Amino acid sequence: MDLVNDIMRGLIGIASMILICYLFSNNRKAIDWKLVVSGLILQIVLAILILKVPIVYAVFDWIADRFVDLLSFAEAGASFVFGSWPDNTWAPVNIDPTLAPGAEYVLDASDPNSKLTIAKIGYMFAFKVLPTIVFFAAFSSILYYLGILQKIIYVFAKLMSKVMRLSGAESLAAAANVFIGQTEAPLVVKPYLEKMTRSEIMCLMTGGMATIAGGVFALFVSLLGDQFAIHFLTASIISAPAAILAAKILYPQSPDEEVNRAVKIPKEKIGNNLLDAISLGTTDGVKLAVNVGAMLLVFIALIALVNAILLGFGNIIGINDEIAALTSNRFNGLNLEYILGLLFAPIAWLLGVPSDDIMLIGQLLGKKTVINEVIGYIDLAGLQASSEVSLHPKSVIIATYALCGFSNFSSIGIQIGGISAIAPGQRKTLTELGMKALLGGTIACFITGAIAGMIL
């Protein structure tokens, strides 16, 4: 019965997300429903293969483990530069969602090593987590220079091109977004950018919003634990077809427009030689790490300021005690988390989150959209470690998948600036499609969360 309920909730959630895209579509008559259905089927099939078929699961789990192994090398470099810390015993909360077929969840809130403290996460984030971004950026540049990353991208691009009948540029961009993120993926289709149609640009932008890059993959694993690596990898892969179907509903290809369906990766390399590629990747990684740290510093400070104002206003109108009583002290009064929880709680329910947790998961979905996914995952780690909150394991998994993407307001500016720098002629199109791409990327992540809720 629970399985039937999970599937029904998931189907309702997916249908609701597709309906939202349909309502905001610029040309409903031109929607290619065959493409939409094939994209959804591809996403579900990939999810089932990766998470439920033992052989396929073992392969992807091995790949995820190798990513985790890379973290230890990044830590070696960080330890040399920053030295050892006197207290290095912190570990993420002990939840085991490995989800090998037949596996069970285990949540041990009594384990002292699973407690997350502000002091520990502060220095861990600054001196252990952020350095992984720099290392992964450099490592990705090495793979790209050697041509290894292009071959992986080509295989995924061919698959999506055949199943969903996409143009070559769309397929390459969607596949590249899975591995190298929204700022680097456009470089893979650089020769095609100026001639891409508005629908193709929409697909490129939405794909960037719905997936993550290798650097933040490492960051998220460091925050939540090695056992989540397989889920971050799976989420980024299966969100690619979800982003395509959302983009093609919101801005379908006009029937009278001709597109190039040839899948050809440009032979351009990053850097003149291997050392140059490493240097360029390291520089990009430093910029990204500093940007992530600075954004978190500012946004967390602003959230504290807004919460102080809202709490004071709640005291004036006398609703703080009512909110605390209504939420069993999960919220101490009127604050941003409570407001976002109210707004996104219905979405959380649609995705399959148990009713007891919809407010808490709703606030994470809201923060991810309004601010960014990093803060969403930091809050998720904090909720797991809290002795006052007991999240249902299924809520944790759905949140893990639904948060896994760059779909937030700051990404609009990042994409407009990054893509227009290499394709100035598309700047007007980028600015006009920014909000729709944000909606499409958010919907894609939510569909991925709903599918995770059905399968897991």
The predicted structure's pLDDT at residue 247: 92
**Number of domains the chain contains:** 1
Rounded distance between C-alpha atoms, residue 330 and residue 411, angstroms: 30
Q: How does pLDDT run across 225-261, given as a tens digit for each residue? A: 778 888 888 998 888 889 999 999 999 887 666 666 5
- DSSP secondary structure letters along 407-436: -SHHHHHHHHHHHHHH-GGGHHHHHHHHHH
**How large is the average pLDDT for residues 300-315?**
85
Which is more confidently placed, 192 or 313? 313
Asked, for residue 46, whether it belongs to a domain, the answer is yes
Sorting pLDDT into bands at 50, 70 and 90, what band is 30? Answer: confident
Distance CA 131, CA 80 (A): 12
Q: What residues does 107 pair with on adjacent strands?
A: 95
So what's the pLDDT on residue 373?
Answer: 84
Q: Mean pLDDT for the chain?
A: 79
* pLDDT, position 132: 75
In a domain, 99, yes or no: yes
Residue 332 lies in a domain: no
- Domain membership of residue 376 (yes or no) is no
Q: How far is CA 181 from the centre of its chain?
A: 10
Tokens standing for 456?
A: 């897991």
- Residues spanned by the domain of 43: 2-282+410-455
pLDDT band at 24 (very low <50, low <70, confident <90, very high): very high
In a domain, 264, yes or no: yes
Is 397 within a domain? no
DSSP H helices in 125-262: 130-146, 148-164, 168-188, 198-210, 214-224, 229-250
Share of the chain above pLDDT 70, in %: 84
Write out pLDDT tens, residues 326-343. Answer: 777 767 788 887 888 888
Q: With a cut of 70, say whether residue 59 has pLDDT above it.
A: yes
Output 298 or 347, whichever has higher pLDDT: 347
Which residues sit opposite 95 in a β-bridge? 107
User: What DSSP character marks residue 188?
Assistant: H
405-442 confidence digits (pLDDT tens): 888 877 887 788 778 877 888 888 888 898 899 999 99
CA–CA distance, 11 with 52 (Å, rounded to integer): 19
What is the rounded end-to-end Cα distance, in angstroms, of the chain?
Answer: 15
Contact status, residue 233 vs residue 64, Cβ threshold 8 Å: yes
pLDDT number for residue 98: 37
Higher pLDDT, 361 or 167: 361
Q: Is 147 exposed, middle or buried (0-12, 13-18, 19+ CB in 10 A)?
A: exposed
Question: CA-CA distance, 165 to 177, in Å (whole number)?
Answer: 18
Residue 74, in any domain of the structure: yes
* Range of lowest pLDDT (118-127, 186-195, 366-375): 118-127
Q: Which position has the higher pLDDT, 332 or 347?
A: 347
Q: CB of 259 within 8 A of CB of 197?
A: yes
Q: Which pLDDT does position 17 carry in this prediction? A: 93
Cβ-Cβ contacts under 8 Å for 322 (sequence gap 6 or more): none
Q: CA dihedral in degrees (328, 333, 337, 339; nearest 10)? A: 100
Question: Mean pLDDT over residues 392-414, rounded?
Answer: 86
The highest-confidence range among 170-184, 203-217, 344-358, by mean pLDDT, is 344-358
pLDDT exceeds cutoff 60 at 118? no
Question: Tokens 């392969």 map to which residue?
Answer: 59
> Which pLDDT does position 102 carry in this prediction?
36
Q: Which pLDDT does position 123 carry in this prediction?
A: 61
* Average pLDDT, integer, range 342-369: 88
**94-117: pLDDT as tens digits:** 333 333 333 333 333 344 444 444
From CA 347, how far away is CA 365, in angstroms rounded?
A: 9
- Residue 175 domain-assigned? yes
| Residue 122 scores a pLDDT above 70 | no
pTM of the model: 0.79
Give pLDDT, residue 25. Answer: 92
